[in-house]
């Protein structure tokens, strides 16, 4: 039973480029969450999606960041015009029900480096 798959594992982008991070949830999971971990800091919630719908995006920066979870295919976290401060580890998690009723299963993250 494959776990949550994130790719790429490492991503290097120059300032101003776009970063696209992909997350394939566990089979049967329709709830997806994105968290960000800045260097030497704890994980911070970004966004919660359920197939084709954004449920809670209160942790997303207002500009340059967007997320989607289409009916078919992986969830995508998109960062436009990246800046050095976007360098972080981005973790995706999935669950069969919302996080209040079911533990989250995390992937091993995408480490974004902006040069």
Q: Point out which residues bind other proteins (CB under 8 A).
A: 4, 33, 35, 42-45, 48, 55-56, 58-59, 91, 93, 98-101, 103-109
Please, which residue, 22 or 105, has the CB nearer to other proteins?
Answer: 105
CA 108 to mean position of chain CA atoms: 11
Q: Which two tokens stand for residue 106?
A: 């995390």
Question: How far apart, in Å, are the Cα atoms of 96 and each of 2, 29, 50, 86, 114?
Answer: 14, 4, 10, 29, 33
Strands (E), the chain: 5-7, 10-13, 19-24, 31-37, 43-50, 53-56, 65-68, 75-79, 88-95, 105-106, 110-114
Please, which residue, 64 or 105, has the CB nearer to other proteins?
Answer: 105
Report in angstroms how near the CB of residue 52 gets to other proteins at its nearest: 17
Please, which residue, 47 or 82, has the CB nearer to other proteins?
Answer: 47
Report in angstroms how near the CB of residue 15 gets to other proteins at its nearest: 25
Report in angstroms how near the CB of residue 16 gets to other proteins at its nearest: 28
Please, which residue, 15 or 27, has the CB nearer to other proteins?
Answer: 27
Report in angstroms how near the CB of residue 68 gets to other proteins at its nearest: 18
């Amino acid at each position: 039973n494959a776990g949550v798959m994130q790719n790429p594992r490492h991503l290097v982008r120059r300032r101003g480029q776009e970063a696209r991070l992909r997350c394939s949830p566990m089979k049967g999971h329709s709830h997806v969450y994105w968290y960000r971990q800045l260097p030497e800091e704890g994980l911070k919630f970004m966004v919660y999606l359920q197939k084709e719908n954004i449920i809670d995006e209160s942790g997303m920066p207002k500009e340059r960041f967007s997320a989607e979870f289409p009916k078919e295919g992986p969830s995508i976290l998109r960062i436009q015009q990246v800046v050095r401060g976007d360098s972080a580890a981005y973790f995706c998690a999935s669950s069969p029900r919302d996080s209040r009723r079911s533990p989250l299963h995390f992937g091993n993250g995408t480490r974004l480096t902006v040069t």
